Structure 1
Amino acid sequence: MKLEEYINKGLTYEDYITRVEDELENEIENDDPKEYVQYYALGLQRMNRVYKTFKLNPAQETRIKSTANNFKLLIITEGWCGDASQILPVVERFANALNVSTHYIFRDENMDLMEKYKTNGAASIPIIIGVNEDNEEAFRFGPRPKAGMEMLARFKNNPDKYSADEFHEDLQHFYNKNKGEDIVNEILDLIDENIAN
């Protein structure tokens, strides 16, 4: 599948943040019909904090020096998404260190593409797609790191013993403690497996 159309209409990280800020203002002005104000506001706050505080560890910095960068990242997301607020700033800082361009598109405006990137039948986001020089998918990451996916599976398999509140609390603790390390390592592994240097 050619992804050039989506790459071309994708926003930069800065433009994505501006658009999310605009969405927040719009939700406030329209009395928040979807009750998303809190999610947009919290997401922006988290993204700002994670972007400012995230640092690659020394092993990752060394590994990046020999990592291929002949690809782009296409990111399917929405401003209200809690996982996106933790993952996207890490991906952006990582992409900057690797000198790889990022292109952000909104899921709800691109459901035709999202249909092809569902996770277990759900339109879960964010989805990060590595796009090769032929504008085709080379790899995908998301909607969360493996540890987060395991927590979600635990919740889905037994919600009576592991509630949604426990899942969300554990996931937030994971993101805060892990500080993006698994996100970067998992994407580096995908690059090494799928992009020729």
Structure 2
Amino acid sequence: MKLNDWFDRGLTYGQYVEGMTVNKEEMESIFDKFTLDEEKVGFLKGRQLRVIVLTEDWCGDALLNNPILMKIADAADMDVRFILRDQNLELMDQYLTNGTARSIPIFIFIDQKGEEVAVWGPRAVALQEMVDRVKATLPPADAHDFKEKQAGAFKQLRESYVKDSSLWDIVSESILEKVKERVL
């Protein structure tokens, strides 16, 4: 299937949000509070780009990144469609992280012909470094308290995603830089 076909079968943002069963409140909170400097998206205006988002509502990175993308899309007048990863592995497997991981979200920017322009995800580099630092503090996977410590670390990360607005700026800058390097 071609990217235009995937786009056509995707959910609108409203449909995606309506179907969410987890992280909905947190994601909407970020969307409501994040303020984008619209001058930064000026290079996107008139380019008629569209975005396919591979995502799932249970994903902590999606709860952070998806509302930031939507603010960018709103400011740049880009249409966005959401594809659920777990139901669409055929597409997901074309966008594996490091060639092996089905990490999400993945943002696939396409032109009107359905040609890929840029791909971003699943995290901004600075956030990946933050996650790596947190993971480095965990005990070995076979330790008796690994699951407990891992759950606590993920909870802490999730809370920072929702409350730390500086992370929102990092994500928006990362997305815009990636697209800018491919369209200019």
Give the CA deviation at 1:51.
1.4
Structure 2 match to 1:33: none
Task: Please point out which of 41, 65, 87 is paired with 2:42.
Answer: 65
Task: Please point out which of 133, 138, 141 is paired with 2:112.
Answer: 133
Is 1:11 paired with 2:4?
Answer: no
Give the CA deviation at 1:75.
0.1
In 2, the alpha carbon distance for the partners of 1:150 and 1:83 equals 14
Deviations 1:153-188 (A, max 9, x none): 345566438963336524642553225111211111
How many residues are aligned here? 173
In 2, the alpha carbon distance for the partners of 1:6 and 1:92 equals 18
In 2, the alpha carbon distance for the partners of 1:66 and 1:119 equals 27
Give the CA deviation at 1:18.
1.3
Structure 2 match to 1:99: 77
In 1, the alpha carbon distance for the partners of 2:29 and 2:137 equals 33
In 2, the alpha carbon distance for the partners of 1:156 and 1:2 equals 37
Equivalent residues in 2 for 1:137-152 (5 A)? Answer: 137-152=116-131
What value does the CA root-mean-square deviation take over the aligned residues?
2.4
Q: Structure 1 length normalisation: TM-score? A: 0.77
Q: Structure 2 length normalisation: TM-score? A: 0.82
Equivalent residues in 2 for 1:75-94 (5 A)? Answer: 75-94=53-72
Gaps of 5+ in 2: 141-145
Is 1:50 paired with 2:23?
Answer: no
**Percent sequence identity over matched residues?**
29
- Give 3-state SS (helix, strand or coil) of 1:125's partner: coil
- Give 3-state SS (helix, strand or coil) of 1:80's partner: coil
Is this contact kept in 1: 2:41–2:72, CA < 8 A?
A: no
Gaps of 5+ in 1: 25-39
Is this contact kept in 2: 1:51–1:89, CA < 8 A?
A: yes
Task: Please point out which of 173, 179, 194 is paired with 2:160.
Answer: 173
Is this contact kept in 1: 2:117–2:183, CA < 8 A?
A: yes
Task: Please point out which of 142, 153, 176 is paired with 2:132.
Answer: 153
Is this contact kept in 2: 1:73–1:129, CA < 8 A?
A: yes
In 2, the alpha carbon distance for the partners of 1:157 and 1:134 equals 43
- Give 3-state SS (helix, strand or coil) of 1:11's partner: coil
Give the CA deviation at 1:133.
2.9
Task: Please point out which of 155, 166, 181 is paired with 1:193.
Answer: 181
- Give 3-state SS (helix, strand or coil) of 2:54's partner: strand
Deviations 1:114-137 (A, max 9, x none): 111111311111111111233122
Give the CA deviation at 1:63.
2.2
